[in-house]
Amino acid sequence: MIDFELTRAGTPDVAVRIAAATPTAQQGATVRFVAGGTNLIDFMKLDVETPQHVVDINRIPDLAKVEKQPDGSLKIGALVRNSDLAYNAEVKSMFPVLSQAILSGASAQLRNKATTAGNLLQRTRCPYFRDLAYAECNKRTPGSGCAAIAGHHRNHAILGVSDQCIATHPSDMDVALMALEATIHVQGAKGERAIGIGEFYKLPGTTPHIENALEPGDLITHVTVPAAAGKTKQVYLKLRDRASYEFALTSAAVVAQVEGGRLRHVRVAMGGIGTRPWRMADAEKALEGKAPGESVFHAAAEAALKNARPHTDNAFKVELAKRCLVRALTMATTNA
């Protein structure tokens, strides 16, 4: 781990000012905010992340709250710990898919430390990205190549991939937030702005090192989740190699409303198979207005995976993802 400067901030304004004052902040990833540190510190130890300045934001109390808003939406502070969010009464009642997703990931100890914003910024677990012994990683060193394409890629992405990168986004929580159509609120040198989660994550394309819409020195302050459209049933289903403390081979978050025997509102997102949390818009179109049933669910799964681009070792994910989605849809519509 390289030497770095550590500063503590007591308000978002101070944190943003400190970041903006870092002399080379506009030249790249030289300043980082730290809260739980469950992802950042790991990568700093590996020299994958090498910030010159780390700003500790743990002492900003307003960022550690979960608050129901007058319009029925939920405001989730950037510093809310994953365990607190998963067990929050409002979350369990209004957005159970979010609680289920969080509890399916990591260990209790990690969930006690990890934060909402940190989870949003979680980076890939691709071994070639994590290990500096492998020089070919476009996400780490633009233009160097992608060792995973010709190497070990069983756990890698089949959606949103490019010739430059096939790294999988690892989060469970963010898949649920994608299905819930969350908005991410950011404060930076240019002021405050809101970014829909669908626009927050970037596809690798020819620039895999650009993972999200944040600009240097931007601070995530909170996330808002809109009120559900009527009474919905929500399910998060995760398939993995072992029962606990394992990243998804594939997962599905489903938010469904059945009214008059037909799907009147359905949102679907999947994890473990995309370069970002993946919203299944084609599946939603195939489901909207239809009567729930096996044939409809299989058609939706086919639509969802029609653009998959698997490689040799992860081709099994195509069929696995289809079965995962069918099962999640069945669970979300049974007795609905």
**Whole-number pLDDT of residue 228:** 84
> Pick from 192, 173, 196: which is nearest to 83 by CA?
173
The answer to whether 79 and 57 are in contact (CB under 8 A) is: yes
Give the per-residue pLDDT at 174: 98
pLDDT of residue 227: 95
Q: How many CB atoms within 10 Å of residue 146?
A: 26
Query: Could you tell me the domains of the chain?
Result: 233-333 (3.30.390.50)
Average pLDDT of the chain, as a whole number = 95
Mean pLDDT value across residues 266-295: 98
Which of 117, 130, 103, 112 minimizes the C-alpha distance to 57? 117
Q: In the structure encoding, which two tokens stand for residue 131, read together?
A: 């290990």
CA angle 69/73/74 to nearest 5° reads 75
Give the separation between CA 50 and CA 141, rounded to whole angstroms: 13
In this prediction, residues 196-206 reach a mean pLDDT of 98
Q: Is the pLDDT of residue 22 over 90?
A: no
Amino acid letter for position 212? N
Of 141-150, 229-238, 276-285, 295-304, the one with minimum mean pLDDT is 229-238
Neighbours of 325 (CB within 10 A): 27
Confidence band (pLDDT; 50, 70, 90) for 336? low
Over 80: is that where the pLDDT of 23 sits? no
Q: In the chain, which residue ranges form alpha helices assigned H by DSSP?
A: 12-21, 40-45, 82-87, 89-94, 96-103, 108-113, 116-120, 127-130, 147-150, 173-179, 197-200, 281-287, 294-304, 316-333
**Diameter over CA atoms, the chain:** 62
| Least confident range of 17-31, 51-65, 100-114, 165-179 | 17-31
Q: Confidence band (pLDDT; 50, 70, 90) for 245? A: confident
pLDDT value at residue 27:
45
Residue 198 has pLDDT above 80, yes or no: yes
> Does residue 214 contact residue 235 with C-beta atoms inside 8 Å?
no
